[in-house]
Amino acid sequence: MPLPPPTPSASGIVPEPRRTGVELTVNGERYVHTGDPDMPLLWWLRDVLRLTGAKYGCGVGACGACTVLIDGKPARACLTPVLAARGRNVTTVEGLADPLGRLHPVQRAWIDEDVPQCGYCQAGQLLAAAELLARKPQPSDADIDAIPNLCRCGTYPRIRRAIRRAAAIASGEAP
């Protein structure tokens, strides 16, 4: 929504024009992006907010290393303009723990199963898993197979085990 033009004050000094921008919420904090609205969310998160949990892996939405949640749905931040997230809630891996800092069940399970090798793809894997569990608290193997995120180190078997463990943590069956 365009803002009204600035009006001269009684002193006659014209204030700087109010900068319009894209408002959005990231991990519970509200931000206004005043740069190029087409800037991909990934580069805004990383270069501007310095939230570097979401990774660049391909830039074409194929690898999933940049996965974030927008209003709870997985999105490829490398292909999502900041403008497309206007007024929405973005969750990155930095915001996956609850506001008190308690880790999300997938984070606890990832630690318990010692999933990461290089670790570069894991933020995306964690968000994909968190979204799957939110949608399907007891996912089948086929549900897990449908996660398309790439891992070159070959941590898939541990990701599978960690998702099972996270499901058990979330349902209270595991500590």
Partner 1 sequence: MSAGSGFTRRGFLRVLAVTGGALVVGIPARAWAQQDGREDLAILGDSWTALNAFVRVEPNGRVIIGARTPDMGQGTRTSLPRIIADEMDADWAQVTVTPLPLGVEDDQGTPRWLYGPQSAGGSTSIPDAWRDLRQAGAAARWLLVQAAAARTGLPPDQLRTEAGWVITPDARRLGYGELAADAGKLSLPDAGVALKSPQAYRLIGQAARGVDVPAIVTGQQKFGYDHYWGDGLIAMIVRCPYFDGELDHLDAGAALAIEGVEQVLPLPAMPAGTLLGRGPLGAGVAVLARDTWSALKGRAALDVRWKSRSGGTASTTALEGQAERVLKGAATTLVRRNGDFAHAFRTAARRIQAQYTVPFVAHATMEPQNCLVRIDPDRAYLMAATQTPRSAFDVVRQITGLDAGQISIEMPRIGGGFGRRLDNDYVAEAVLLAKAVGKPIKLQWTREDDLGHDVYRPFGVHALAAGVDRKGHIVAWRQHLASTSKLWRRGVPDDRLWTSELYPDDPPAGMVANLELAWFALDFPLPRGNWRAPGHTANAFAVQSFLDEIAHATRQDPLRLRLALLGAPRLLPYASHGGPTLDTGRLANVLQLAAQRIGWSSRAPAGRGRGLACHFTFGGYVAHAFEVSVSGGKLAIHRAVAAADVGRVIDPNGVDAQISGGTLDALSTALNLAITVRDGAVVQQNFPDYPLARMAEMPREVEVIQVPSQADPAGAGEMGVPSAAPALANAIFAATGVRLRRMPFKPGIARIG
Binding interface with partner 1 (CB under 8 A): 35-36, 39-40, 43-44, 46-48, 50-60, 62-63, 65, 92-94, 96-97, 103, 106-107, 110-111, 114-123, 126, 141, 144-160
Name the minimum Å distance from CB 47 to partner 1: 4
Name the minimum Å distance from CB 34 to partner 1: 12
Query: Which one, 15 or 99, has the nearer CB to partner 1?
Result: 99
Query: Which one, 9 or 105, has the nearer CB to partner 1?
Result: 105
Query: Which one, 15 or 101, has the nearer CB to partner 1?
Result: 101
**Reading across the β-sheet that carries 89-91, which strands appear in turn?**
29-33, 22-26, 89-91, 67-70, 73-76
Q: Which of 97, 85, 87, 80 is nearest to 27 (CA)?
A: 97
What are the residues whose beta carbons fall under 8 Å from the beta carbon of 169, sequence distance 6 or more? Answer: 105, 108, 109, 175
With beta carbons less than 8 A apart as the criterion, state whether 131 and 72 touch.
yes
